[in-house]
Amino acid sequence: MKEKIVKLLEESTARCVTEGLFEVKNLPFIELEATRDAAHGDYATNVAMVIASQAKKNPRVIAQAIVGKLIDDGLLLNKVEIAGPGFINFFIREDNWRSPLKEIDRLKDRYGALDFGAGKKVQVEFVSANPTGPLHIGHARGAVTGDVIANILKASGHDVSKEYYINDVGNQMRTLGRSVYLRYLEIQGKAIEFPPDHYQGDYISELAREILSKDGDRYCGKSEDEVLPFFTAWGAGSILEGIKDDLGSFGVFFDCYFSEGELYKDDGVMKLLDRLRQQGSVYREGDTLWFRSTAFGDEKDRVVIRDTGTPTYFAADIAYHKNKFDRGFDIVIDVWGADHHGYVPRLKASIEALGGNKDALKIVLVQLVSLLRDGKPVAMSTRAGEYVTLRQVIDEVGRDAARYNFLMRRSDSQLDFDLELAKRQSNENPVYYVQYAHARIASITRMAAERGMEIPGGDEAELALLTLPEEIQLIKSVIRYPEIVEGAAKALEPHRVTFYLNELAGIFHSYYNKNRVIADDPALSRARLFLVNSVGHVLRNALGILGVSAPEKM
């Protein structure tokens, strides 16, 4: 609908220019927005005012010219008005709203699937928590955000791969292995001193017990250097399996788990740094190697090889992102905790230094979550091993409510997650509001079937019978869905889908309360069944993108 009017406007303005009614250097992007106030029609454009400043003419005169050259051979419009300082308001002929409904019925679960991303390979990397402990609630928001961004991009035609980066190299891994090893000794009654900077959680002791019951005391009496690699590898592997299980319960699945260790094979990282050094982007100072990120807009240069000879995390990350682009991704999206924002310039700098396009890397920052219970903060301390795990959240509030709650804010705004509120099945909890709308529609369909009424196909339903203002409003809302998907995909903003769902469910509930779908008039009932069934499709498709179930009954 929107595109059709934009097209009319483009043709009309072009005609005005050719006929010399006004002059513009280059035609502006035509902005057409759905009006808030019905008195202003269905859509409005400010294009006349935008042109006016260029053409140095009165905007209303410009508007007059554009309207005069409009050719609406498709009988789309009922009325066109010029209003206020120079808005052009479009009133759509009512029957034009109804036919797009048939599209929903025809496409069903594919309605809202777009193709503007066709041919583009996209990678979304998210979670990527170190395998040193179970996922906690902070990871949960990133997990949902990344997952839903991937779904949205898929829905808009992109070829999407979801990836989890495993930091299995470095100090933290060694600390993990040592933590397990010390607990292993401790269980056997050996005197140990457990350092405060080691992992304190109970799961460490559990891992140690598993090893003991599996392998007995065979690791005792050997040097740390000898046994630590085993404890590290076994611990990390075991924890990663747990992470995968938890993510699975949360409805999050990855296409690829990428190990940091991969990057070091065949001296990969060193070779890459040599290459950068040859082109002058990396330089040596004493025993330290620096990346010249200031040459690409960063505040200061960054160390890539310490004076101890070991590479930094950043060194591996340069190689990792090069690897991503080498794998043929056109767009690479990283979902990060907002506390990493300072890291963005240096990473983009590294892409530029390697001759890549820094805009092909998009960073989505996810703000931290404060966990509440009945409005009171829940104490969380990673060091003490005291935190609410993702597993506990799923078990307590359920997957649907948890996911939906994380999607109710834009990802870069802080979020309070209240455990009691999230599991409360009341009107304070919007998940159920939307799911209830879907269950209601399913219920209507069941009732209709009991009375021997089938949902009509698009050609059978007499859509012209849908004349009530609230019916037109419902239709307008439901056919807007593809625009929502498109906007969410371009902005990488999952919350737009959530807000849309709340609005659509609201309009439906209101309609339902005021009017009977299964009425006395069979033809009208069929038309309304068709409408309501379309709403059901859209609710289901949108909930599907969020990874939230659409129940038939509640």
Partner RNA sequence: GGGCGGUUAGCUCAGUAGGAUAGAGCGUUGGUCUCCGGAACCAAAGGUCCUGGGUUCGAGCCCCAGAUCGCCCGCCA
- Closest by Cα among 373, 385, 407 to 140: 407
Nearest approach in angstroms of CB 209 to RNA is 26
CA–chain centroid gap for 143, Å, is: 9
Nearest approach in angstroms of CB 60 to RNA is 11
- Cβ proximity to RNA: between 212 and 523 the closer is 523
- Closest by Cα among 364, 371, 363 to 405: 371
Scan for tokens 């903003």, then name that residue: 493
- Closest by Cα among 346, 360, 358, 274 to 314: 346
Token pair, residue 444, equals 């209507």
Token pair, residue 440, equals 């209601």
- Closest by Cα among 526, 522, 441 to 478: 441
- Closest by Cα among 337, 290, 336 to 311: 290
- Decide the pairing of beta strands 331-337 and 121-125: parallel
Nearest approach in angstroms of CB 341 to RNA is 5
Nearest approach in angstroms of CB 294 to RNA is 13
- Cβ proximity to RNA: between 217 and 552 the closer is 552
- Cβ proximity to RNA: between 40 and 275 the closer is 40
DSSP 362-395: EEEEE--EEEEETTEEPP-BTTTTB--BHHHHHH
Nearest approach in angstroms of CB 76 to RNA is 17
Per the DSSP assignment, residues forming a β-bridge with 88 are 45, 82
Scan for tokens 């008005």, then name that residue: 81
- Cβ proximity to RNA: between 89 and 151 the closer is 89
- Cβ proximity to RNA: between 94 and 483 the closer is 483
Tell me the helices (H) and strands (E) count for the chain, helix number first: 21, 15
Nearest approach in angstroms of CB 520 to RNA is 11
- Cβ proximity to RNA: between 210 and 398 the closer is 398
Nearest approach in angstroms of CB 433 to RNA is 5
- Cβ proximity to RNA: between 186 and 436 the closer is 436
- Cβ proximity to RNA: between 16 and 169 the closer is 169
312: number of Cβ within 10 Å: 16
Q: Where does residue 452 fall: left (phi above 0), alpha (psi -120 to 50 degrees), or beta otherwise?
A: left
Nearest approach in angstroms of CB 511 to RNA is 8
- Cβ proximity to RNA: between 394 and 501 the closer is 501
- Cβ proximity to RNA: between 52 and 394 the closer is 52
**Please, which residues have CB within 8 angstroms of residue 521's CB and are 6 or more apart in sequence?**
none
Classify residue 144 by burial, with Cβ atoms within 10 Å: 0-12, 13-18, 19+. Answer: buried
Q: DSSP character for 93?
A: -
- Decide the pairing of beta strands 256-259 and 159-166: parallel
Nearest approach in angstroms of CB 312 to RNA is 4
Nearest approach in angstroms of CB 172 to RNA is 5
Per-residue CA distances from 307 to 310, 316, 523 (Å):
7, 16, 82
Per the DSSP assignment, residues forming a β-bridge with 373 are 376
- Integer Cα distance of 496 and 72 in angstroms: 32
**Please, which residues have CB within 8 angstroms of residue 234's CB and are 6 or more apart in sequence?**
180, 207, 211
- Cβ proximity to RNA: between 125 and 260 the closer is 260
Nearest approach in angstroms of CB 215 to RNA is 28
